[in-house]
Homo-oligomer: A and B are copies of this chain.
Amino acid sequence: MNENDITVNLAPGSKIDLVDFENLTFGNVFTDHMLICDYKNGVWEKPVIKPYEPFLIDPSAKVFHYGQAIFEGMKAYKDENDDVWLFRPDQNYERFNKSATRLAMPEVPEEVFIGGLKKLVEIEKAWVKKGKGNSLYIRPFMIATGPGVLAAPAVFYRFMIILSPAKSYYSGEVKVLIAEHFSRAANGGIGAAKAAGNYSAQFYPTKLANEQGYQQVIWTDDATHTKLEEAGTMNVFFRINDTLYTAPTSERILDGVTRKSLIEVAKREGINVEVRPVLVSELIEAAENGTLQEVFGAGTAAVVNPIVGFSYKEKYYELPKQENSVALFLKEKLNNIQYKLAEDTFGWTVKI
C-alpha cells in the first residue's frame, strides 16, 4: 500500500489556534483528523483520514457487551529541524497484533497501522510542538463493531487512530500503594495484552488508593501477592544497592517499550540491570536496611516517573532523596534519543 491507498478528506479548517499548548491536560484535546479502517467479511477496507468527529455505532456492537477492544500508546517528537520522529513504532505494531490475537480479533496490516499513522501524523505535523517535553500522543485502537449479543467474537471490526498533543508536566510527588488484595491480571489471562478490559479493572482499587493519598497502585501477582509486577500504565524498576531490578514480562505483565528501551540504555551506560521477579519482602527489607535507593515507573506517557514512597500493610516507606537519580539520568538519555539530541545508536527513531 502506498499513501494513495488512503482516502483523505481534509477538514475545512483547523481548531489548532484554539488550543493552549502551554496548558494541556493529558488526552483530552484531539487534532483535526482521525484515521478509520473497517474490517468486514474477512477483509480490511481502504483506510480513510477524515475530520475528527463522533461516529455511529450499533447498540449491540460487541465492544460494548464483550469488551473486544485493544489499543496502543506511542508518541511523535519534533526535532530542532522541524522533522517529526516516531520511537520504535515497530514494537507497538507487533504488540498491537499480539493483543489482537489474544482477544480473537483480526491482525491489522502494517500498511494500515504504520502507513496510516505516518500519513496521519504528517497531516497533523503542526500539532507536534518543538522542545523537550512536547509531543504528539498517538492512540491506535481497534473495537468490535459487529452486532449481536451472543457471547462470541464479532465479525466486523474498526481500527482507528486519534492524536492528542501532550506536554510532560510535573505530576507532583508520586506515592504508591502495594496491592495486597486487588489484582489487575490472572495467570492465563489477558494482562499482557493492551486490552481495554484490563484498565477498568484497576479503576476502583486505584480510587480506594487515591482516597488514602496514593496516586498509583503497584500490582502484585494475584495468586500470592508476593511478587511486584507493574503499575496501572507503567512497568516498575527498583534500584537496590546500585542494581536496577525489574520483573520479567509474562502473561500478566505488559511488555513495555519504555521498559525494554531503558534496560538497553542502562546496560550501555554500564548500569547493572537484573530482570527477575522482585519480591515485596525484598523491597521491604531493602527499604528497612537502607539499600533501597529508587523506585520508578516506566511508560510512554512520562518516560520515567520517580516514586517518593510506598505503603504496604498500612506502613509507609519513604524513599531517600537521590543526588544522582538513575531514574532521571535514564530519562534524560532516552529523551535525548527521542528528540534527536543525541545519537540514536540503537536505530530506534523513525522519521515521518
A164: chain B residues at CB < 8 Å are 149
A51-66 vs B, Cβ < 8 Å mask (1 yes, 0 no) = 0101111111001111
Contact A57:B57 (CB < 8 A) given known A104-B200, A200-B195, A222-B222: yes
Question: Which one of B27, B54, B55, B64 lies within 8 Å of A141 (CB-CB)?
Answer: B64
A205: chain B residues at CB < 8 Å are 188
Q: Is A238 an interface residue when CB atoms closer than 8 A count as contact? A: no
Question: Which one of B104, B137, B150, B184 lies within 8 Å of A189 (CB-CB)?
Answer: B184
A207: chain B residues at CB < 8 Å are 104, 153
A184: chain B residues at CB < 8 Å are 186, 189
Judging by beta carbons under 8 Å apart, are A179 and B188 in contact? yes
Judging by beta carbons under 8 Å apart, are B186 and A181 in contact? no
Q: Is A26 an interface residue when CB atoms closer than 8 A count as contact? A: yes
Give Cα A103–Cα B183 distance, bound, in whole angstroms: 13
Judging by beta carbons under 8 Å apart, are B143 and A139 in contact? no
Judging by beta carbons under 8 Å apart, are A204 and B67 in contact? no
* Min CB–CB distance A67 → chain B (angstroms): 3
A59: chain B residues at CB < 8 Å are 30, 34, 52, 54-55, 160, 162
Judging by beta carbons under 8 Å apart, are A196 and B199 in contact? no
Q: Is A233 an interface residue when CB atoms closer than 8 A count as contact? A: yes
Judging by beta carbons under 8 Å apart, are A222 and B187 in contact? yes
Q: Is A201 an interface residue when CB atoms closer than 8 A count as contact? A: yes
Judging by beta carbons under 8 Å apart, are A233 and B151 in contact? yes
Closest to A63 in B: B64
Give Cα A200–Cα B99 distance, bound, in whole angstroms: 11
Give Cα A162–Cα B144 distance, bound, in whole angstroms: 18
Closest to A102 in B: B204
Judging by beta carbons under 8 Å apart, are A143 and B69 in contact? no
Judging by beta carbons under 8 Å apart, are A222 and B104 in contact? no
A25: chain B residues at CB < 8 Å are 150
22 contacts between A and B (CB under 8 A): A25-B150, A26-B149, A27-B149, A28-B60, A30-B59, A30-B60, A59-B162, A63-B64, A64-B141, A65-B69, A65-B196, A65-B199, A66-B203, A104-B204, A149-B162, A149-B164, A181-B188, A186-B186, A186-B189, A189-B222, A197-B201, A222-B223
Q: Which residues of A contact B (CB under 8 A)?
A: 25-28, 30, 34, 52, 54-60, 63-69, 71, 73, 101-104, 137, 139, 141, 143-144, 147-153, 160, 162, 164, 179, 181-190, 195-205, 207, 222-225, 232-233
